[in-house]
């Protein structure tokens, strides 16, 4: 990687050169140590098509067992594995393989919705491009918030709306103009009931052996549906990532859930804090791209504050980029 540091210097960083400490600290630093200008990445062989197989389960125990089995490395292992939880009794495991074999392909860029196909199809074939972008037209399933799962609206506006960038723009305007706050104020002024919600937009990694316990907590307290599950097996170098160390070779399940929970009169961030605590109790990790509510001392215990401060003093001593806590928790 070539990284622009706070003093204007551009450093070439490799895992084994004089800047190896910065190389291993960049993941999860969110631009607080420097900005990547160029990087070299490892590529994998590709094929024109990807064949998908969907299997349904009514119980989470066999679902998790089959997902774990699908992640065992070997010549028969699938190329891709993921799962979707629709309800506490409805799980779908998807395995996919690279293929040169052509045939009728699925198309989820228009009237058809990809995540709904998981419950109605057992097999599918996508072009490589459509496979890579399969979740984008409906932003997984969040397009329903914008009315874009309505067939009429989809037909009229789908050409312009069915992409994550469009949803981001609308969401940004919603926040800029404080639409929710104004709606609540209006209802309150009219003496109408006001139901408040807490946004819960999170991705967390849980060791597979603790996934059952996390799912029990999730359905009991969060219950945003659907929920995406993506298995992760860190490479041998994963233990060296300074700010996001994971056990090399161990299997983790990433749970992605994006929505809101009725909060009534609970304190701000109540449900997000519950998630942060349970993730720590179960030996997991929480990515910091979304809202975080950690107290500062707890945050630095989790995200290796001692090592971070040393790196900060070396690569951004004037705090040009802000520190990680300021960016990830305080929103500066």
Dump pLDDT digits (tens) for 126-174. Answer: 999 999 999 999 999 999 999 999 999 999 999 999 999 999 999 999 9
Residue 228 CB coordination number (10 Å): 18
Hey, what are 307's tokens?
């090592």
Q: How confident is the model at residue 240 (pLDDT cuts 50, 70, 90)?
A: confident
Query: What is residue 114's predicted lDDT score, i.e. its pLDDT?
Result: 99
105 pLDDT band, cuts 50/70/90, is very high
Residue 238, pLDDT score: 62
Give pLDDT tens digits for 4-53: 999 899 999 999 999 999 999 999 999 999 999 999 999 999 999 999 99
In whole angstroms, give the CA distance from residue 214 to residue 196: 25
**Which class would CATH give 197-293?**
alpha beta
Domain positions in the chain are: 2-43+305-328, 49-69+94-168, 197-293
Is the Cα dihedral 97, 102, 108, 111 positive or negative?
A: negative
The residue among 317 and 266 whose pLDDT is bigger is 317
Residue whose token pair is 């997991």: 284
Buried b or exposed e, range 94-117, using 16+ CB within 10 angstroms: bbbebeeeeeeebebbeeebbbeb
Amino acid 235: pLDDT: 85
Please say whether the beta carbons of 47 and 99 come within 8 A: yes
Cβ–Cβ under 8 Å, residues 138 and 115: yes
The pLDDT value given to residue 294 = 98
- Percent of the chain whose pLDDT exceeds 90: 93
How confident is the prediction for the chain on average, in pLDDT? 96
pLDDT given at position 266:
83
Q: Are 88 and 232 in contact (CB under 8 A)?
A: no
Residue with tokens 């998630």: 275
* Cα 106 to Cα 131: distance, rounded to the nearest angstrom: 10
This prediction has a pTM of: 0.96
Residue 98 pLDDT more than 70? yes
- Kindly report, residue by residue over 243-263, the tens digit of the pLDDT: 999 999 999 999 999 999 999
């Amino acid at each position: 990687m070539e990284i622009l540091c706070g003093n204007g210097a551009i450093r070439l960083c490799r895992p084994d050169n004089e800047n190896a400490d910065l190389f291993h600290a960049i993941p999860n630093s969110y631009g607080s140590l420097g900005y990547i200008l160029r990087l070299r990445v490892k590529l994998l062989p590709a094929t024109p098509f990807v064949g998908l197989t969907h299997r349904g389960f009514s119980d989470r125990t066999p679902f998790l067992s089959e997902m774990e089995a699908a992640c065992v490395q070997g010549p028969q292992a699938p190329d891709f594995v993921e799962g979707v939880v629709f309800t506490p009794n409805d799980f779908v495991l998807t395995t996919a393989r690279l293929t040169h074999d052509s045939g009728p392909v699925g198309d989820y860029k228009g009237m058809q919705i990809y995540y709904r196909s998981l419950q109605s199809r057992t097999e599918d074939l996508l072009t490589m491009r459509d496979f890579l972008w399969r979740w984008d037209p409906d932003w997984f399933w969040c397009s329903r918030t914008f009315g874009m799962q309505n067939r009429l609206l989809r037909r009229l506006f789908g050409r312009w709306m069915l992409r994550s960038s469009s949803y981001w723009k609308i969401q940004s305007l919603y926040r800029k103009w404080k639409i929710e706050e104004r709606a609540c104020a209006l209802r309150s002024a009219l003496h109408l009931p006001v139901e408040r919600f807490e946004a819960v937009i999170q991705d967390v990694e849980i060791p597979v052996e603790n996934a059952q316990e996390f799912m029990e907590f999730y359905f009991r307290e969060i219950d945003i549906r659907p929920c995406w599950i993506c298995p992760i097996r860190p490479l041998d170098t994963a233990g060296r990532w300074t700010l996001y160390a994971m056990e090399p070779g161990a299997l983790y399940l990433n749970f992605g859930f994006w929505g809101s929970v009725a909060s009534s009169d609970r304190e701000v961030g109540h449900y997000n804090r519950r998630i942060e605590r349970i993730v720590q109790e179960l030996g997991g990790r929480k990515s910091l791209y979304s809202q975080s509510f950690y107290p500062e001392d707890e945050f630095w215990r989790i995200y290796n504050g001692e090592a971070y401060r040393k790196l900060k003093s070396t690569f951004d001593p004037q705090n040009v980029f802000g520190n990680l806590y300021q960016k990830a928790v305080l929103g500066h």
